[in-house]
Amino acid sequence: MSESRQTHVTLHDIDPQALEQLVQYAYTAEIVVGEGNVQTLLPAASLLQLNGVRDACCKFLLSQLDPSNCLGIRGFADTHSCSDLLKSAHKYVLQHFVEVSKTEEFMLLPLKQKPHHLTEGFISNTRLTL
């Protein structure tokens, strides 16, 4: 890599505060993940291949799942290739579909995404009796 011979390296697409936290993590092996930093910390940790921080972010997001945010967390997990979190969030959506379908997050979801991503497993597992 040409960066190994340079005195300065520019990191694109990384939040400065997240980078600062990750540098501190490198020295202390401690990090606090919360609502205020998880959305910048996870992509930065992924970019720098800090899997411990990435896992901590996914664990935090998993603990925060509720009907009002599970679709957003599912999309975030998909964007950042967090496959376990993606599966868990998708399962949560299917298990709580009635509540999820009443949320603003669901209402704002483009119509073409609703059947494919959400109702797929729900409808195929439900019998309709008339």
Q: For 60-111, what is each residue's pLDDT tens digit? A: 999 999 999 999 999 999 999 999 999 999 999 999 999 998 999 998 887 6
Measuring CA to CA, which residue among 51, 11, 52, 12 is closest to residue 30? 52
Euclidean distance between CA atoms 42 and 34, whole angstroms? 11
Superfamily grouping for domain 2-124: Potassium Channel Kv1.1; Chain A (3.30.710.10)
> DSSP class of residue 115?
I
Q: pLDDT at residue 30 above 60?
A: yes
Measuring CA to CA, which residue among 63, 4, 33 is closest to residue 42? 33
Contacts of 105 (CB under 8 A, 6+ apart): 68, 69, 70, 71, 72
Can you give the pLDDT at residue 115? 46
Euclidean distance between CA atoms 60 and 30, whole angstroms? 15
Q: Are 88 and 65 in contact (CB under 8 A)?
A: yes
